[in-house]
Structure 1
Amino acid sequence: APAPAPEAAPAAPGRLGTWLRTAGWRQTAPLLVLLAVLCALPGVLDAYSISLAGSALALGLLAVSVTVLTGYAGLPTLGQTAPFAVGAYATANLADAGWTVGPVQLVLAALAAAVFSAVTGPAVIRARGTTVLMITLAIGELTSAVINQVKSVTGGADGLVGFPATQALWGGEGMTEERELYVYAVVVAAVAVALTLLVLRSPAGKLLTGTRGAEARMRASGHPVGRYLMVAHIGAGALAGVGGSLMVTVQQYLSPADVGFEIAAFALLAVVIGGATSVIGALLGAGLIVFTRDWVAGSWPGHGPLLLGVLFIAAVYLLPRGLAGLRAATGRPATPPSAAPPPGASPLTVSPAGKAAP
């Protein structure tokens, strides 16, 4: 009898249906929904609220950089405001020198922040757990001290103001209206977050989660763990630099308070609220913080810190796994199994290997 003919390959619609049922689509859908909401905000908010949304996106990029280090690399940090500040002051000085094109500012700010992270990285990646927090906190505080001393570059305690507005593209005019600044912020944040997610969901991201969860085993398998952590530290620093550049563009001024310890605490708080390994959760957490601090607190002057404290306590008790845990409650994994913390675990715990893990 003749051999049966080989089965034909499944049609493209079948492959599309399979892809729609995979975890990849479920992980991408929240980002698309968030992007759609952000694009719709200019039509429903006033100018002040739009400016707050732009600031929240800048803080959100800082929070995402903290997520990369804390949630994926297992290096809890309070010092990401240091490369954030490098990117911010680099952008302000570039604008003052006549370099006002947005893409140029972003690339140079990211490069400056990456170089800074490469210099400070060896001190950070050698430690684990609480020691990392102390080292990164020291780096952030030393950076703040330098900012207050180098007045010719940073303006000291007075900050920087009056530099030319950023141009979205070559040949355009400087952006001064809140809505056009917000659109610019949405585009920059979307590109930066998309690139971050591509890296984190690639084999490089799996290596980071493996390093965080089983460092001793990774070393025994011959993996250069120190190199992985160094690359993650530099990449997270570059992302924080982009966030700092975006903040300067949106605010059109810069002061030491914008890059101080309070902002570092807010970024880590956003990661805890959003879920230690959730990029989208970090963005939403940053939005909640800015909304509570600058919009809700406007109705109760002087009660901003109290409201933020209530927000944090409510998030810890009602959402022990952060906003990302809401998806897990519906039966959909919020994070890859290798990256998800055990049920009931705090965002920062110590693994059996002695390495801090979210």
Structure 2
Amino acid sequence: MEIPDLVRDALGGEDVELGVNLGDEDVVCLTPTRTLLYRAEGLLSDEKVQEFPHDVEWLDVKEGRRKTKFVLEYVEGTRKFGVPGNRDGAVLELLLTGILRADGVTDPDESVAGAFRFSELVLIVTDERVVRHIGSAVWTEDYEEYPFSDLTGLSFEQGNVATEVVLEIDGRPKRIKTPNEQARKVQQVVENAVFDFYGVGSLDELNATIGVEEDGEGGHEDTEGSSDIDIGGGIDPLVSDDEERSPSIDGPTASGSSGSSETTARAESRSRSDSENDTASGAAERRERAADAGGSRASATESGARSQGSAAASQRDLDAVESQLAELTTAVERHNELLEQQQRTIKKLIEELREGR
């Protein structure tokens, strides 16, 4: 954990032994004689350091929905500060480490391994002892301690509602009731501290070492489950057949006959007349087809020109739409950035108001 410069300036030659990060840049630091609370610069307050000496008359803890408040009573008055609710356990252990040392309950190099609060009962486990305090406050001068060096037996007796931690001191049992929902955690902390003190690895080994045979077993099982989800499907192709038709064109046939010369002459005359008529009719038909072809070419040219003009107009419209869309996207992104910045500012302001800063 990085120590802020303002905290270093307030140490006065002492060292920081422990620290708890409160989120953002706020921290709580433990020195041999004081607890230092550092508050970073915020919307409602400047950067600052608050000092809380360890020679307190009593310590109380008030839990809220989001914040926990620590109240320290001194001869000259009361001091208090608040921390986020998810950091209160670590801060309580840090505070109790300093207070127990100042009261002479623990040694200067002794640390708190765990602190538990059950209504008006507070159970403190250190590296070398168990301390019990009963009362409305978390800590006063009214307490009992059970040093590990005097331990002659350790066991845990589970009931329907509570589990008793049985500490046998010089042959006399001291019973501490803990709720079953937290009994496993309490047992682990007590066992770890005692095992480390005596250099053993189990409860049976401990009791054999200190001369008392007691069985204490506990365990839990973890179960794991998994599920698989199969996703399947298919796509059937669509197939269609095209049919084509070819039209047929039929041409007529002609036949001729012979007769008298007059008839022949008349026939030849009619033939020449028909030929001339066919020639004139063919020329007229060719002129009509030429006129139709010219009209078709003109119509096609005009249609192509209209098509090219329509395509050019469509491209201009598309370019204009894309340009407007790009401008709108830029404006929306900037608006979102401003909203996110405002939300961060409001969140920070709410946090500082809740912390009483």
Relative to its length, the structure with more helix (as a share) is 1
TM-score of the superposed pair, with normalisation by structure 2: 0.20
> Which of structures 1 and 2 has the bigger CA Rg?
2
Relative to its length, the structure with more strand (as a share) is 2
TM-score of the superposed pair, with normalisation by structure 1: 0.20
Asked which structure has the greater RCO (Cα within 8 Å, sep 6+), the reply is 1
